[in-house]
Structure 1
Amino acid sequence: METLKVMCVTWNVETTWPEQDLHALLGIRKDVVIKRAHDDILPDIYFIGLQEVKSQPQNVVMDALFEEPWTNALREVIGPHDYVRIASERLQGIVTNIFIKRCHLPHVRDIHTAVVRTGLGGLWGNKGASCVRLNLYGCSMCMVNSHLAAHDSGYKERVDNFNTIVDTLEFPITETANILYHDYVFWVGDMNFRFEPHMTSDAIARLVSEGDWGKLAEADELRKAQRTGDAFSMFKEGDLNFQPTYKYLEGTSMYDFSRRPAWTDRILHQVHPNAYDNVKLSVDQTSYAALSSYIQSDHKPVTASYKIKVFANHEERCVRFQVTERWVVGEGGKFTLTLDSDVTTSPWDYISIYKVDFTAMHQYITYMYLPQQPPPSSSERSFQLQFSDELLQHPGMYRLVYYSGKYSCYLGMSDPFQVLAQS
């Protein structure tokens, strides 16, 4: 088995723009000149869930034409450290993004997204969940980013929201059609659970000043829901050793006592340790914290870090590239494409060319569809193809990436190769 590092982030940004620097949020050191020496200690995967992102009609239209501002701000911080955004999903103000280290891209399979609306009885997306599932090195993972019903009196509605999300959301993968069927599940979001009614604002403030997190946790409604089996009983959560994350006066780290403080913002996980014969999956949570330095919202962001086990050297449905001759700007070049025997092609498969340091999958320069080939005569299929590109205007270093329409993922990525200027 191999160990991968996962970092989850949740933040209700209260319809603000990304005003504060995001390096600390993502655990990345900020330098005037980007230094890469510490990149090996950064996570392999970032799962980032935001709530209350601006979602007025004009914002949604602009985000359809241009990258959503929060997603762009996150990518600008993460991207230079060799990460690629591989998936995103949005339900009104609930925005979910997944970034992985570039070296893992060819090992991601079956990426699918889905949403569930729970606002106004399931008609409105102001509450609900946006979700992404994928396979990585043979293990299935699902990230759920939810915004559940608000207010002190909303316990039952929050429980109903949770069960609606679990019961109604489906993915088009038979073995993992349900969220809970995945090997690993990370559930983040503004859960909106409060403290039980007997806890007054004064009592909460006193326990916070004393740092008595245990006493506060005993009165936490989410913990109550787990104990009673109402919601999240199959999930685990790290110790709540930080101040309640809501509600703060904007621009400060002082509570706004118009609402009782609460741990509304949470990150939980589930693992099926015995999903496979002769191996044991596991989750080791290494941190769980709120970041008090972020003051632009009435919520504090929360982060959690994990180590998980996946299959070592796992390969399936792989595509390999070999650039066979020099490429020239405006002319393109030839390459050999090799498909493993378990790859089924489709008319929607294509090969894209990217700059070597691309940070999101939509950043391809141009692409070509895979020519439909005759049935294979051997266990592997190799083809020499010509990539003719008039859109590639600048010399430099580039990569080729193979996208599978059938499997909704990227089955292969070439080594960097040089494109030369015209002589």
Structure 2
Amino acid sequence: MLPRLVTGKLSHHQKRCGHRSISEISDVVDETKRPLDGQNDILRYRVFTSTWNVGGMTPSGDMDLEDWLDSRANSYDIYVLGFQEIVPLNARNVLGPRNSCISTKWNSMIGEALNKKREGAVLHQEITNNSAMKRSVQEEHFRCIMSKQMVGIFMSVWVRSNLRPYIHHMNVSCVGSGIMGYLGNKGSVSIRFVLHETSFCFVCCHLASGGKQGDVLLRNFDAVDILTRTRFPDGATQELPKKILGHDEVVLLGDLNYRISLEETETRLLVEDKNWSILLENDQLLLEFSTGRHFEGWQEGQIMFSPTYKYHPNSDQYYWCFDGVPGKKKRAPAWCDRILWRGKGLKQIQYDTCNYRLSDHRPVRALFHAECEIRGDADCACGCIALSSTSE
């Protein structure tokens, strides 16, 4: 009997939001302005999150990440990017020393994509010698505040430079749940921080794989194990949550590996017909939600995109089973790549995927509005959306 994960229930039947790009909805804000307990105000930030299993593929140096990151919209304050299999999960990488070359390359490419236009604007303003405009553009610069790699799992967090002074108590915690229950070919990397007075925790997971009967129990166990074993240090000057679920706002993203509980032939026919409703009725993760045994209290946006796995690399075609081809494993399509969240200060605005063909998975991304408490007497110059009537 597996222990219960958390409290509350997913509501999957959310209002249909239409097929809009992330940038189209990024300017949506609440009309309300309200104080918190008469003392603290609320500020809102736009948070971009994404998960991508890159299948051990190394990106080319000229790969353009701007579409994935929607960076041309210049609409986000925080980016949280989670990867799985940034290196092949072979014995050398699992048991040997960490290969940080690939994570460094990904970070370099992310920084280039996020700051591409801003660097050009700074150069232009250096030429015009307008110091006020130059300072304004430099404040828009994104910087990586923390990144961490565990074998193939890699998470990178980026924020606007003028937001950095309000972020504190950053910590990271890694849990290996792979071979022998502890090696890092599967598991999680979790990063937490406090923004103003609100604590955030982001968890990048790679759960047990496999489409056999009973493999779903292994995934459930991995999820429980990650929530149980992840621990953060307490604050020296203030009480901070030590466990994932103790934080105010939590996002769990990754290759959760949940499959579709139908015969592979039937699954393929339904995918060909784009009959998402029947497929989702048999999605293992949603079935876990509906039983109330696991993932209570977590939420997920309505899935309105094609299964994210398994594609032929460099192709839009799914990996069907070809008779007579040796060494080919059956891999029916599934929504393996997911983003879940919990916390009353989070509001998901969009949930979608984008068409990058680097690996056999498609990246999945979600945009949130995240509310943060701020003391009424505190000054904030970070350009976020103020909801309190006393905030500028």
Give the TM-score of the pair, scaled to structure 1. Answer: 0.66
Deviation at 1:122, TM superposition (A): 2.5
Equivalent-residue separation in structure 1 for 2:227 and 2:263 (angstroms)? 32
Judge conservation of contact 2:271–2:333 (CA < 8 Å) in 1.
no
C-alpha distance in 2 between matches for 1:14 and 1:94: 11
* Alignment partners' CA distance in 1, 2:376 and 2:150: 33
Partner of 2:366: 304
| Aligned equivalent of 1:76, options 89, 106, 112 | 112
Residues 101, 225 of structure 1: alpha-carbon distance in 2 compared, 3 angstrom cutoff: same
Query: Is residue 134–residue 140 contact of structure 1 (8 Å, CA) maintained in 2?
Result: yes
RMSD: 2.2
The 5-angstrom pairing of residues 42-81 of structure 1 reads 42-54=75-87, 56-57=92-93, 63=100, 68-80=104-116, 81=118
Matches within 5 A, 1:181-200: 181-196=246-261, 199-200=262-263
Partner SS for 2:68: coil
Check conservation: 1:225, 1:233, Cα contact below 8 A: no
Q: Distance in 1 between matches of 2:268 and 2:93?
A: 39
Gaps of at least 5 residues in structure 2 are 1-41, 119-140, 321-329, 380-392
Q: 1:118-197 maps to which residues of 2 (within 5 A)? A: 118-153=177-212, 154-173=215-234, 175-196=240-261
- Report 1:8-407 matches (<5 A): 8-19=49-60, 20-29=63-72, 38-39=73-74, 42-54=75-87, 56-57=92-93, 63=100, 68-80=104-116, 81=118, 82-153=141-212, 154-173=215-234, 175-196=240-261, 199-257=262-320, 258-271=330-343, 273=344, 282-291=345-354, 293-312=355-374
- Gap change, CA 1:45 and 1:315, over 3 Å in 2: farther
How far residue 213 of structure 1 moved from its aligned partner, in angstroms, is 2.3
Aligned length: 294
Identity %: 30
Deviation string 1:180-208 (CA, Å, 9 cap, x unpaired) is 11110010000000011xx2333323333
Q: Counterpart of 1:152 in 2: which secondary structure?
A: coil
- Please give the alpha-carbon distance, in whole angstroms, between the structure 2 residues aligned to 1:294 and 1:234: 31
Change (3 A) 1:311 1:184: same
After TM superposition, give the deviation of residue 91 of structure 1 in Å: 1.0
Instruction: Indicate how the Cα distance of structure 1 residues 310 and 297 shifts in structure 2: closer, same or farther if over 3 A, else same.
Output: same
Q: For residues 338 and 230 of structure 2, what CA distance do their matches in structure 1 show?
A: 20
Q: Do the aligned partners of 1:137 and 1:314 also contact (CA within 8 Å) in 2?
A: no
Q: Check conservation: 1:227, 1:233, Cα contact below 8 A.
A: no
Tell me which amino acid in the other structure corresponds to 1:248.
Y
Structure 1: stretches of 5+ with no match in the other structure: 30-37, 274-281, 319-423
Cα distance in structure 1, aligned partners of 2:113 and 2:97: 23
Structure-1 residue corresponding to 2:3: none
In structure 1, how many angstroms separate the alpha carbons of the residues matched to 2:253 and 2:376? 28
Change in Cα spacing, 1:94 to 1:3, as seen in structure 2 (3 Å) is: same
Instruction: Provide the rounded CA distance (Å) in 1 between the counterparts of 2:161 and 2:191.
Output: 18
1:226 positional shift: 1.7
Q: Which has the higher strand share?
A: 1
1:123 and 1:311 map into 2 onto residues whose CA distance is: 37
Q: Shift of residue 79 of structure 1?
A: 3.3
Note the alpha carbon deviations across 1:263-293, whole angstroms, 9 max, x for none: 000001000x3xxxxxxxx3221111111x2
CA displacement 1:84-132 (0-9 Å, x = unmatched): 1001111110000100111110000100001001012323100000010
| Residues 315 and 151 of structure 1: CA distance in aligned 2, closer, same or farther (over 3 Å) | farther
| Greater RCO (CA < 8 Å, at least 6 residues apart) | 2
